[in-house]
Chain A
Amino acid sequence: MDIRIPLLYLLLSATAMAGDVRLYSRPHALAPAVLDHFTAQTGHTVTQYHYDDLGVRDQVVRSGRGQGFDLLMVDSLSTRVLAAGGHLADLPGVLPSIGPLCGAKGLALNDTRLGLAYRASVMEPPTSWQMLFAPGPLLKGRVVMGREPITAVAAALLADGLDPYSERDVDLRRALARFELQAPYLLTMDNGLSVAAAQGQRTPMALTLAFAGDERHLYQLTRQSDWRFVVPDEGSVRWGECLVIPAGNELTSATRDLLTYLAQPEVMQRNAALTGYDPVQPAIQGSNPSAASALSAEGLVVRARLIAHLIRTQEQG
Chain B
Amino acid sequence: MKLVQRVNIILLPIIAGIYALVGWAVYQALLQQHLEDTRRTLEREIAFFQQSLDFELNGVKTSLESMLDTPEFIEFANDSDPEFGAYSFESWLYHKMLEDRVHNPGLLTMQILRPDNSLWVSAQDSDPFTPHQVTHLMPRMARLSAVQPEQGGMLYHGGDGGWHYYHYKRFAPQLLQNDPLARSIDRHLAVVISAIESPALLERRLRDELGPLLRLDFVPSDSGELQPLRSILSPEGDLYLTLSGALYQMAITLPQVEMVPTFHRARLMVIGAVAILVLVTFLALKWLIQKQIVRPINRLVGQVKESKAKEGALQPLEGNDEVSALNNAYLELIESIQHMAAYDSLTGLANRRNFQKMLDRQLQRATKQGQRVALLYIDLDNFKRVNDHYGHAVGDRLLQQFARRLEDSVRPTDSLWAVQGEALARLAGDEFALLLTELDGPVAVMRVAKRILALFEQGFELDGAHHNVQVSIGIAMTPEDGQDAETLLRHADAAMYHAKAQGKNRFHFFTQELAEMLKARQHIEATLTNAVAHDGFELMFMPIFDVEAQRPVKAEVLIRCPELDRQGIGPDQFIPIAESTGLIKQIDLWVLEHSLKSLVAFRQESGFTGCLTINISAVELQNDLFPAQMARLLDRYGLEPGLIELEITETSLVHGDDDCLRILKELKQLGVGLALDDFGTGYTGFNQLMHFPVDCLKIDRSFVMDIEWPPTNRRPMVNIILSLAELYELQVVAEGVETPEQVEYLRQCGCRLMQGFFLSKPLTRQEMSALAELQSLVPMPQP
| Stretch from A108-116, A228-236, A258-266, A306-314 forming part of the interface with B | A306-314
Q: Which 8 A-B pairs have the closest CB atoms?
A: A58-B88, A305-B128, A300-B87, A84-B81, A297-B83, A306-B128, A81-B84, A86-B80
User: Are A55 and B70 in contact, with the CB atoms below 8 A?
Assistant: no
Residue B319 at the chain A interface, CB threshold 8 Å: no
User: Are B95 and A55 in contact, with the CB atoms below 8 A?
Assistant: yes
With A and B bound together, what is the CA distance between A281 and B37 in angstroms?
82
With A and B bound together, what is the CA distance between A306 and B89 in angstroms?
15
User: Are B90 and A301 in contact, with the CB atoms below 8 A?
Assistant: yes
User: Are B91 and A55 in contact, with the CB atoms below 8 A?
Assistant: yes
Question: Which residues of the partner chain B approach A305 to less than 8 Å between Cβ atoms?
Answer: 90, 127-128
With A and B bound together, what is the CA distance between A315 and B268 in angstroms?
54
User: Are A81 and B127 in contact, with the CB atoms below 8 A?
Assistant: no
Which among A55, A62, A64 is the interface contact of B85 at CB below 8 angstroms?
A: A62
Residue A223 at the chain B interface, CB threshold 8 Å: no
Known: A62-B92, A85-B82, A86-B80. 19 other contacts (CB 8 A): A55-B91, A59-B95, A62-B75, A63-B75, A64-B71, A81-B84, A81-B85, A81-B88, A85-B81, A172-B129, A176-B127, A176-B128, A297-B83, A297-B84, A302-B128, A304-B90, A305-B90, A308-B128, A309-B128
* Cβ-Cβ contact count across A and B, 8 Å cutoff: 81
Residue B94 at the chain A interface, CB threshold 8 Å: yes
B-facing residues in A155-199 (Cβ within 8 Å): 169, 172-173, 176
Residue B76 at the chain A interface, CB threshold 8 Å: yes
Question: Which residues of the partner chain B approach A84 to less than 8 Å between Cβ atoms?
Answer: 80-81, 84
29 contacts between A and B (CB under 8 A): A58-B91, A59-B88, A62-B72, A62-B79, A62-B92, A63-B75, A78-B88, A81-B81, A81-B84, A81-B87, A81-B88, A85-B84, A86-B79, A86-B80, A87-B79, A176-B129, A297-B84, A297-B86, A298-B83, A300-B87, A304-B87, A304-B88, A304-B90, A305-B127, A306-B128, A308-B128, A309-B126, A309-B128, A312-B125
Closest A residue to B79 by beta carbon equals A85
Closest A residue to B120 by beta carbon equals A301
By secondary structure, the A interface counts as helix
Question: Which residues of the partner chain B approach A312 to less than 8 Å between Cβ atoms?
Answer: 125
Question: Which residues of the partner chain B approach A85 to less than 8 Å between Cβ atoms?
Answer: 79-82, 84-85
Question: Which residues of the partner chain A approach B80 to less than 8 Å between Cβ atoms?
Answer: 84-86
User: Are B84 and A59 in contact, with the CB atoms below 8 A?
Assistant: no
Q: Which residues of B contact A (CB under 8 A)?
A: 70-72, 75-76, 79-92, 94-95, 125-129
Q: Which residues of A contact B (CB under 8 A)?
A: 55, 58-59, 62-64, 78, 81, 84-87, 169, 172-173, 176, 297-298, 300-302, 304-306, 308-309, 312
With A and B bound together, what is the CA distance between A207 and B87 in angstroms?
28
User: Are A308 and B70 in contact, with the CB atoms below 8 A?
Assistant: no
With A and B bound together, what is the CA distance between A306 and B125 in angstroms?
10
Question: Which residues of the partner chain B approach A306 to less than 8 Å between Cβ atoms?
Answer: 127-128
User: Are A309 and B88 in contact, with the CB atoms below 8 A?
Assistant: no
Question: Which residues of the partner chain A approach B72 to less than 8 Å between Cβ atoms?
Answer: 59, 62-63
CB distance from B265 to the nearest CB of A (A): 45
CB distance from A88 to the nearest CB of B (A): 11
Question: Which residues of the partner chain B approach A172 to less than 8 Å between Cβ atoms?
Answer: 128-129
CB distance from A149 to the nearest CB of B (A): 8
With A and B bound together, what is the CA distance between A300 and B87 in angstroms?
6
User: Are B87 and A297 in contact, with the CB atoms below 8 A?
Assistant: yes
CB distance from A89 to the nearest CB of B (A): 14
CB distance from A194 to the nearest CB of B (A): 17
User: Are B129 and A169 in contact, with the CB atoms below 8 A?
Assistant: yes
User: Are B76 and A62 in contact, with the CB atoms below 8 A?
Assistant: yes
CB distance from A159 to the nearest CB of B (A): 18
With A and B bound together, what is the CA distance between A304 and B127 in angstroms?
11
Question: Which residues of the partner chain B approach A86 to less than 8 Å between Cβ atoms?
Answer: 79-81
With A and B bound together, what is the CA distance between A64 and B76 in angstroms?
10
Which among A87, A297, A300, A309 is the interface contact of B127 at CB below 8 angstroms?
A: A309
With A and B bound together, what is the CA distance between A302 and B80 in angstroms?
21
With A and B bound together, what is the CA distance between A87 and B92 in angstroms?
17
User: Are A173 and B129 in contact, with the CB atoms below 8 A?
Assistant: yes
With A and B bound together, what is the CA distance between A85 and B86 in angstroms?
11
With A and B bound together, what is the CA distance between A64 and B141 in angstroms?
34
With A and B bound together, what is the CA distance between A308 and B75 in angstroms?
22
Question: Which residues of the partner chain B approach A169 to less than 8 Å between Cβ atoms?
Answer: 129
With A and B bound together, what is the CA distance between A78 and B91 in angstroms?
14
With A and B bound together, what is the CA distance between A62 and B92 in angstroms?
10
Question: Which residues of the partner chain A approach B85 to less than 8 Å between Cβ atoms?
Answer: 62, 81, 85
Question: Which residues of the partner chain A approach B86 to less than 8 Å between Cβ atoms?
Answer: 297, 301
Question: Which residues of the partner chain A approach B88 to less than 8 Å between Cβ atoms?
Answer: 55, 58-59, 62, 78, 81, 304
CB distance from B642 to the nearest CB of A (A): 147
CB distance from B173 to the nearest CB of A (A): 13
With A and B bound together, what is the CA distance between A169 and B129 in angstroms?
8
Which among A63, A64, A300, A302 is the interface contact of B84 at CB below 8 angstroms?
A: A300
With A and B bound together, what is the CA distance between A63 and B88 in angstroms?
11
CB distance from A19 to the nearest CB of B (A): 27
With A and B bound together, what is the CA distance between A84 and B82 in angstroms?
9
Q: With A63-B71, A63-B75, A64-B75 given, is the CB distance from A304 to B91 under 8 Å?
A: yes
- Which residue among B71, B80, B88 has the maximum number of chain A CB atoms within 10 Å of its CB? B88
Closest A residue to B81 by beta carbon equals A84
Question: Which residues of the partner chain A approach B81 to less than 8 Å between Cβ atoms?
Answer: 81, 84-86
With A and B bound together, what is the CA distance between A39 and B229 in angstroms?
76
CB distance from B76 to the nearest CB of A (A): 6
With A and B bound together, what is the CA distance between A85 and B128 in angstroms?
25
User: Are A63 and B79 in contact, with the CB atoms below 8 A?
Assistant: no
Question: Which residues of the partner chain B approach A78 to less than 8 Å between Cβ atoms?
Answer: 88
With A and B bound together, what is the CA distance between A300 and B129 in angstroms?
13
Closest B residue to A53 by beta carbon equals B91
Question: Which residues of the partner chain B approach A302 to less than 8 Å between Cβ atoms?
Answer: 128
CB distance from B120 to the nearest CB of A (A): 10
- Which residue among A63, A64, A85, A300 has the maximum number of chain B CB atoms within 10 Å of its CB? A85
Which among A173, A301, A309 is the interface contact of B87 at CB below 8 angstroms?
A: A301
With A and B bound together, what is the CA distance between A231 and B86 in angstroms?
32
Question: Which residues of the partner chain A approach B83 to less than 8 Å between Cβ atoms?
Answer: 297-298
Closest B residue to A311 by beta carbon equals B94
- Which residue among B71, B81, B94, B125 has the maximum number of chain A CB atoms within 10 Å of its CB? B81
User: Are A55 and B92 in contact, with the CB atoms below 8 A?
Assistant: yes
With A and B bound together, what is the CA distance between A169 and B128 in angstroms?
10
Question: Which residues of the partner chain A approach B90 to less than 8 Å between Cβ atoms?
Answer: 301, 304-305
With A and B bound together, what is the CA distance between A302 and B121 in angstroms?
11
Question: Which residues of the partner chain B approach A301 to less than 8 Å between Cβ atoms?
Answer: 86-87, 90
With A and B bound together, what is the CA distance between A63 and B126 in angstroms?
26
Question: Which residues of the partner chain B approach A63 to less than 8 Å between Cβ atoms?
Answer: 70-72, 75, 92
CB distance from B110 to the nearest CB of A (A): 13
- Which residue among A81, A86, A169, A298 has the maximum number of chain B CB atoms within 10 Å of its CB? A81
CB distance from A26 to the nearest CB of B (A): 16
Question: Which residues of the partner chain A approach B94 to less than 8 Å between Cβ atoms?
Answer: 308
CB distance from A130 to the nearest CB of B (A): 22
With A and B bound together, what is the CA distance between A219 and B85 in angstroms?
36
With A and B bound together, what is the CA distance between A206 and B105 in angstroms?
36
Question: Which residues of the partner chain A approach B127 to less than 8 Å between Cβ atoms?
Answer: 176, 305-306, 309
CB distance from B683 to the nearest CB of A (A): 152
Question: Which residues of the partner chain B approach A304 to less than 8 Å between Cβ atoms?
Answer: 87-88, 90-91
With A and B bound together, what is the CA distance between A58 and B79 in angstroms?
13
Closest B residue to A81 by beta carbon equals B84
- Which residue among B72, B84, B90, B95 has the maximum number of chain A CB atoms within 10 Å of its CB? B84
With A and B bound together, what is the CA distance between A172 and B130 in angstroms?
13
CB distance from A242 to the nearest CB of B (A): 16
With A and B bound together, what is the CA distance between A250 and B107 in angstroms?
41
With A and B bound together, what is the CA distance between A173 and B130 in angstroms?
11
Closest B residue to A54 by beta carbon equals B88
Closest B residue to A62 by beta carbon equals B75
Q: With A84-B81, A84-B84 given, is the CB distance from A62 to B89 under 8 Å?
A: yes
- Which residue among A58, A64, A306 has the maximum number of chain B CB atoms within 10 Å of its CB? A58
CB distance from B132 to the nearest CB of A (A): 9
CB distance from B307 to the nearest CB of A (A): 101
Closest A residue to B121 by beta carbon equals A301
